[in-house]
Amino acid sequence: MIKMNLAFAFLCLFTVEPWRVCSQQQQQRLLVNMTLVPSARASGALCLDGSLPAYHLHRGFGAGKDNWLLQFEGGGWCNDLKSCLDRAKTRRGSTRYMTKWEVFSGILSNNATLNADFYNWNRVKLRYCDGASFTGDAVFTNKTTTLHFKGQKIWEAIIRDLLPLGLGKARKALLSGCSAGGLATFHHCDNFAKYLPTNASVKCLSDAGFFLDERDISLNHTMRYNFKSLVQLQGIEKNLNGNCTRALYFPDLCFFPQYALRYISTPYFILNSAYDVFQFSHILVPPSADMHGHWKQCKANLAECTADQIDTLQGFRLDMLGALRPFYMNSRRGGMFINSCFAHCQSELQETWFGDDSPRINNKTIAEAIGDWYFSRNISKEIDCAYPCDATCHNLIP
């Protein structure tokens, strides 16, 4: 990353029109430095490998200087010792292996043209290194290895670090996240609101985090098993919504958003594809359910899907809309943007967040829908027609 930036600086100095090249680069790439949290060690709020947690903060300005947007990073989970040990040796389990500079784009952009509602807010990216959507609280140790399952503590440590930097006096705040980070917003939304002034406008957004409790094509509950083992391994159950765990016979199911959502009191927005490509490949058609590779071509190219496979995908969409129906019908303060693009995470990519050819529902982009909802400009509950009717998805279909 540093070498690339030096090369670009050289280009800026010696190009015929340096102001044009450099200004274009600045518009396209905002690089934000990493901040470690040394105080986290005292509370044991450590990444899987024992390294310090971290975040990236880009300061707000002007009318947005007292407003805060926190974005959980995504990146899957580890639900057994082997996968967690492997993960601890990568950027998903250790800040030692992470890039020290992160690109802020989409909802994190500081460009008013590209991010009209949040460009001048304080924007924070919380780095993900615990493997359980910032919810675990346990430690595994033997003679040779220690794994820190401390996502809940990491969340608390980062918040405590940000409060004196201005978060504690926030006037407006939005807690968001993508994928496993989107799932984290379900589990920390109400807690986030409790840290902030009572008169602050606090809301939450999940991007590609509405993971379904769905049977796979072999009729097994693969994702349910994965989440159950994750909850047990990382000591998560005590950090799930208490009202939810008391209501369900199997409390670990509260890790699924569809069961936890009804107990969240803070205003909430759900951004998701009805054909989320991660869920397509890991919930509906996980490798264990397609041992002979009948779905391999369909996963790689939708044009190769058979009519029966498309019917299965349409069934998945209907199940997702069914799980969301109570929220759609009963939440007056909630918002939705459920499109039919084969995508996963759409708020951090500029092309999907807001652009000339960005996805739209009823001619409204994702950025416009979320902005209308947050600022109460308009009712924002958008559900797309079924694939393949949406022509704005052309740039996303694999």
Phi, psi torsion values for 48, nearest 5 degrees: -50, -40
Per-residue confidence (pLDDT) for residue 28, from 0 to 100: 62
Does 116 reside within a domain? yes
- 109 as an active site residue: the answer is no
pLDDT mean for each 10 residues of the chain (398 residues) = 36 37 54 98 97 98 98 97 97 97 97 97 98 98 94 98 98 98 98 97 98 97 97 98 96 98 97 97 96 94 94 98 95 94 95 94 97 95 95 73
Q: Which of 276, 290, 384, 390 is catalytic?
A: 276
The DSSP result for 295-353, as a single string, is THHHHH-GGG--HHHHHHHHHHHHHHHHHHHHHHHH-SS-EEEEE--S-S--SSSHHHH
- 265 as an active site residue: the answer is no
Is the Cβ–Cβ distance between 87 and 22 less than 8 Å?
no
Per-residue confidence (pLDDT) for residue 397, from 0 to 100: 57
The DSSP result for 202-219, as a single string, is EEEEEES--------TTS
CATH code at 301?
Answer: 3.40.50.1820
What is the biggest distance separating any 2 CA atoms in the chain, rounded to whole angstroms?
69
Does 247 reside within a domain? yes
Does 19 reside within a domain? no
Per-residue confidence (pLDDT) for residue 22, from 0 to 100: 41
Three-class SS of residue 121?
A: coil
Domain hosting 251: range is: 31-393
The pair of three-digit structure tokens given for residue 204, joined into one six-digit string: 């939450």
What does the angle CA 357 – CA 388 – CA 179 come to, to the nearest 5 degrees?
65
Exposure class string for 86-110: b at 16+ Cβ within 10 A, else e:
ebbeebbbbbeebeebbbbbbbbbb
Does 369 reside within a domain? yes
Domains contained in the chain, number: 1
What does the angle CA 99 – CA 103 – CA 109 come to, to the nearest 5 degrees?
155
Per-residue confidence (pLDDT) for residue 331, from 0 to 100: 87
Is the Cβ–Cβ distance between 303 and 376 less than 8 Å?
no
Q: Which of 58, 148, 282, 344 is catalytic?
A: 344
Does 18 reside within a domain? no
- 207 as an active site residue: the answer is no
Phi, psi torsion values for 141, nearest 5 degrees: -145, 145
Does 3 reside within a domain? no
Is the Cβ–Cβ distance between 207 and 339 less than 8 Å?
no
Q: Which of 109, 133, 179, 273 is catalytic?
A: 179
Per-residue confidence (pLDDT) for residue 96, from 0 to 100: 98
Per-residue confidence (pLDDT) for residue 12, from 0 to 100: 39
What does the angle CA 38 – CA 44 – CA 97 come to, to the nearest 5 degrees?
60
Does 14 reside within a domain? no
Does 216 reside within a domain? yes
Amino acid, single-letter form, for residue 60:
G
